[in-house]
């Protein structure tokens, strides 16, 4: 979590706010790949609804 905070601070300091949606998409893709690789994707989808 600390690395994510450092990245967000760097984005805020350099005023590159357009990078935030890209990081959110990257994070969502990483979570999806992690869950799909371990076979826990469907239970995670069921729990979210």
Report helix, strand or coil for 37.
helix
Query: What pLDDT, on a 0 to 100 scale, did the predictor assign at position 21?
Result: 87
CA dist list (Å): 34 to 12, 18, 31, 40:
28, 25, 5, 9
Joined together, the tokens standing for residue 3 give 């690395």
pLDDT digits (tens, 9 = 90+) for 9-19: 887 888 777 87
For the chain, what is the domain count?
Answer: 1
Cα(10)–Cα(3) distance, integer angstroms:
11
> Where in the sequence is the domain holding 15, given as residue range(s)?
2-48
For residue 1, is pLDDT > 70? no
Read off the pLDDT of each residue in 34-41 and give the average, rounded to a whole number. 72
Supply the pTM of this predicted model: 0.53
Which pLDDT belongs to residue 29? 84
The mean of the pLDDT values for the chain is 79
Contact 15, 21 (CB under 8 A): no
Q: Among 4, 36, 38, 42, which residue's Cα sits nearest to residue 12?
A: 4
């Amino acid at each position: 979590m600390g690395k994510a905070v450092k990245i967000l601070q760097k984005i805020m300091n350099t005023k590159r706010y357009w990078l935030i949606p890209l990081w959110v998409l990257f994070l969502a893709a990483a979570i999806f790949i992690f869950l799909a690789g371990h076979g826990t994707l469907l239970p995670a989808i069921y729990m979210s609804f």
